[in-house]
Structure 1
Amino acid sequence: MFPTARQGFRLIEVLVLLGIVLVAIGLFLPSVRNVRIPAERMKCANNLKQIGLALSNFHEASNSNDSLKQYFPTGCMGFGNEPEERLSWMVALLPYVEEQELFAQLDLTKNYGGNYSLLNRLIGIYLCPTYTRLNNASAITTYVSMAGIGVDAASRPPGVAGNGFMGFDRLTTLEMIKDGASNTITLMDLHSHNGTWAQGGPSNLRGFDTTDLPLLGEGRPIFSNHQTLHTLLVDGSFRSIRFDCDPRIIAAAITIDGGEEIDWNSN
């Protein structure tokens, strides 16, 4: 049976209305995207600054023993033969990122596996919101501390050329950062090879391997869903670095005692 004229007009009205809705959605989505992306960048930058403040507060509280200078956390804490068996520096910062209750529940006589049930959870400040939107993230972090130049940087002792801000077991004092707090990178927001925030190892502490080329790209050492590389400096300041930045500038900013002069305006 063929539709009546009235039914035909109603069908046309529905199609016109549907077309208007689709056009409106098409116009609306770019606006949402234009608002969402800057908001995610701002939130990521704020996360880094808050972690930087936590590192500073840890540093200020670290000299309870008068024989020790103030120091930043080591990359790993607790027990285990391998870094991945131990707790990470992010666990040490929990009391300074408003997670005192969680930290108090941990059994620090046990390793990562022994505390897994408590630590297998999302900590919002440890994760870039852009990564959260694009991935099924839970107890993941995108914020990686830089151990220095070379794949073995995290395992090296203090005083070795090419060392960065943090190592698995080495203490870093502010006095050791000869290149200056405003010229040395502590953290990068990296969206490749991500792992859990609470576990020691490369998920949150890595060396910068300048020979692992290409450096930039999805799945490569430097990759981010932002249009720039988000970094935190020792002095707590946030810096956004273009992806076409000379890798030598990044490498120079990672070392704590390289003696390089860094021209941030050239990046």
Structure 2
Amino acid sequence: MRYLVLLSLALIGTSSGLKAADPPKLPKELAIVPNDALAAFSLDVATLGEHPAFRGMRESLAKSAVNSEMARVLGLKFEDVARFTTVLLSPNDPESKRFEPEVILLVTARKPLDKGRIVKSLRLYGSDEVKELEAKHKPGEKRPEPRGKADAPYYFGIGETVIAFADDRTVVFWKTEGRRQNFTSLPNPLTLLKSGAETGPLTEGIVLAATHPCAGAANMVAIKRARQNDPFPDDLLPLFRADKFFGHATLGKDAAEFTVQAEFAGKQWAAEGEEAAKKLRDLATLMMKEDVARSIKRSGPTTTEAQLQLFLLDVIEKVAIKPVDNSVVLTGRFDLGSKTQAMLTALPGATTESALQTKSMNNLKQLTLAYHNYSDATSFGVSNVVDKDGKSLLSWRVHLLPYLEQQQLYSQFKLDEPWDSENNKKLIEKMPAVYAMPGVKTKDAGMTFYQGFVGKKDQITRPLFLEGENRGIKFPVAITDGTVNTIFCVEAQNPVVWTKPEDLPFDPDGKLPKLGQHLKPDCFQAALLDGSVRSLSTKLPEATLKAYITINGGEVIDEN
């Protein structure tokens, strides 16, 4: 609910009710946006980058790791990007109970793209090449490297991404979540962007994007149809009875202004939509105040996160809402003075930090899912590989490989030999990416920060792992504290060899080992056995952290 409200306000906060009387000629990257898609949003990066208020932010981006990576992969720096355009299309599974639209991102450069470099650096398979490979490829067999030819109609990349070039300056990315099984049958994303209609619900927003730094539109009729299994909240429903949203934001010397127009079929629906819009503004204000209070309590009022939330709170509180004929118009303004500029300058670093945290969170979720799949197959939780005398040979991380789509790597291990045997030590450098902490370099290859807690043999109040245990616990019945209160693994402060049966020692009466603080001061992320990942403070009382670690301690967890 929280994210629905904030997303809704963000959408309408970038729009305007002013229609262009004489539509300008659209650049290619906007001309191919279908007028009947679910939604589209465009950001004129070139115009924003030239504004004095964004100078500090531009310089911060230029120094960021993200900028370096983009330059390596695309041959482009942020200063070379002209426009980002996002298009949402109807979900690929209309029967799904969740609203999951297709997302297509268009990146337009100021200069011609080096197509060959992009194809090579992203290790892209040409569409014809993929179909040829799939016809010959056997399950479990390693695929050959892509030929790297830059003459295919479109391309397939890692991570279920389909890529095409709209022209010499625009590259199109289509993230096809969960459709690997039909990968070779997926069409060229450029065909998805074709629309038979000359005008449609998105026309005003697309036209405005040609002449404004940011603009967007939403086709509410199509969105409501796509969301029929995932309806809007009742108290906000009148606002989303609009046929469409569209608009833009403008930049002045010292301030930016935005306007949004929601068009309805009649004045009565518009009046009801006005009241719902006010409820949405008030609810978003309340939620943002709660977020601000949490951020300040956790890290103080001067962090970039807290400053951004305070900035958004001020903008949301001052949004004006009024009816105009069959529409509801929302307007707002925000200052671009020195305080805002300082926050914008710090934002790229904070965003990079947040992205790394999200990546690490996803890694932890994948590991927890693998743990569950392992237990489904065996009825037991995963444990280290041990010999007949109870000596640990290999880490539980090795046992999870088949459940992380790494069966081929798993088959290369000799499970009756220790991690540093002649055969097994050669596999250390082949550590899967899911075990690597994003943004953190280690001295040697094959080192991981993702570790569980291990207790001494025959320990009664115990963590998930015990020394010399030749079989994991009966899962989930042995987790008497509840999976929602029990840690599976965490971001440790010091790395270990991923194949080595080494984790964080746990003594219920002793001191805790050092944890995390790689991606955020005084914090570490923990994967709980219910599948969730939580960011925990290293300053929590030891009793609280120990309660999270034990599977059968019977403690009541209190984070205050």
Query: Could you state the TM-score of these two structures normalised by the residue count of structure 2?
Result: 0.36
- Taking the aligned partners of 1:177 and 1:23, their CA distance within structure 2 comes to 48
Aligned equivalent of 1:9: none
Alignment partner of 2:464 out of 157, 161, 165: 165
Alignment of 1:10-49 (within 5 A): 25=59, 28-29=62-63, 30-49=346-365
Aligned equivalent of 2:425: 116
Aligned equivalent of 1:186: 488
- Taking the aligned partners of 1:196 and 1:104, their CA distance within structure 2 comes to 19
State the Cα distance separating 1:221 from its structure 2 match: 1.8
Runs of 4+ in 1 over 6 A off after TM superposition: none
Is the alpha carbon distance of 1:27 and 1:79 closer, same or farther for their aligned partners in structure 2, counting shifts above 3 Å?
same
Alignment partner of 2:401 out of 94, 106, 123: 94
2:256 is equivalent to residue 222 of structure 1: no
- Taking the aligned partners of 1:186 and 1:24, their CA distance within structure 2 comes to 40
- Taking the aligned partners of 1:226 and 1:22, their CA distance within structure 2 comes to 23
| Conservation of the 8 A alpha-carbon contact between 1:144 and 1:206 | no
Query: Could you state the TM-score of these two structures normalised by the residue count of structure 1?
Result: 0.72
Aligned equivalent of 1:248: 543
- Taking the aligned partners of 2:387 and 2:425, their CA distance within structure 1 comes to 13
Kindly provide the CA deviation profile for residues 207-251 of structure 1, in whole angstroms up to 9, marking residues without a partner as x.
Answer: 256644xx6xxxx62242122210011111111112221111000
Kindly provide the CA deviation profile for residues 83-139 of structure 1, in whole angstroms up to 9, marking residues without a partner as x.
Answer: 4xx11100000101111110112222322223111233332111211323xx44520
- Taking the aligned partners of 2:536 and 2:58, their CA distance within structure 1 comes to 36
Could you tell me which runs of 5 or more consecutive residues in structure 2 were left unpaired when the two chains were aligned.
Answer: 1-54, 64-345
Is the alpha carbon distance of 1:136 and 1:36 closer, same or farther for their aligned partners in structure 2, counting shifts above 3 Å?
farther
Q: Which structure has the bigger radius of gyration?
A: 2
State the Cα distance separating 1:78 from its structure 2 match: 4.6
- The one-letter code of the counterpart of 2:528 is L
Is the alpha carbon distance of 1:166 and 1:58 closer, same or farther for their aligned partners in structure 2, counting shifts above 3 Å?
same
- Taking the aligned partners of 1:257 and 1:210, their CA distance within structure 2 comes to 15
Aligned equivalent of 1:128: 437
Aligned-residue CA RMSD (Å)? 2.6
State the Cα distance separating 1:183 from its structure 2 match: 0.6
2:400 is equivalent to residue 107 of structure 1: no
- Flag the structure with more relative contact order, 1 or 2, with Cα contacts below 8 A and sequence separation at least 6: 1
Is the alpha carbon distance of 1:79 and 1:100 closer, same or farther for their aligned partners in structure 2, counting shifts above 3 Å?
farther
Could you tell me which runs of 5 or more consecutive residues in structure 1 were left unpaired when the two chains were aligned.
Answer: 1-20, 63-69, 148-152
- The one-letter code of the counterpart of 1:125 is V
- Taking the aligned partners of 1:263 and 1:242, their CA distance within structure 2 comes to 13
- Taking the aligned partners of 1:58 and 1:27, their CA distance within structure 2 comes to 42
- The one-letter code of the counterpart of 1:199 is K
- Taking the aligned partners of 1:34 and 1:223, their CA distance within structure 2 comes to 17
| Conservation of the 8 A alpha-carbon contact between 2:60 and 2:348 | no
Kindly provide the CA deviation profile for residues 117-173 of structure 1, in whole angstroms up to 9, marking residues without a partner as x.
Answer: 1233332111211323xx4452011011112xxxxx2x313xx33211112333211
Give the match's secondary structure for 1:120. helix
Give the match's secondary structure for 2:489. strand
- Taking the aligned partners of 1:113 and 1:23, their CA distance within structure 2 comes to 48
Aligned equivalent of 1:141: 448
Aligned equivalent of 2:227: none
Is the alpha carbon distance of 1:258 and 1:209 closer, same or farther for their aligned partners in structure 2, counting shifts above 3 Å?
closer
Give the match's secondary structure for 1:182. helix
- Taking the aligned partners of 2:480 and 2:427, their CA distance within structure 1 comes to 38
- Taking the aligned partners of 1:23 and 1:233, their CA distance within structure 2 comes to 37
Give the match's secondary structure for 1:200. coil
Is the alpha carbon distance of 1:125 and 1:25 closer, same or farther for their aligned partners in structure 2, counting shifts above 3 Å?
same
Is the alpha carbon distance of 1:78 and 1:93 closer, same or farther for their aligned partners in structure 2, counting shifts above 3 Å?
farther
Give the match's secondary structure for 2:411. helix
Give the match's secondary structure for 1:143. strand
Richer in strand (by share): 2
- The one-letter code of the counterpart of 1:263 is D
2:498 is equivalent to residue 197 of structure 1: yes
Is the alpha carbon distance of 1:90 and 1:251 closer, same or farther for their aligned partners in structure 2, counting shifts above 3 Å?
same
| Conservation of the 8 A alpha-carbon contact between 2:57 and 2:347 | no
- The one-letter code of the counterpart of 2:517 is S
- The one-letter code of the counterpart of 2:438 is P
Aligned equivalent of 1:231: 526
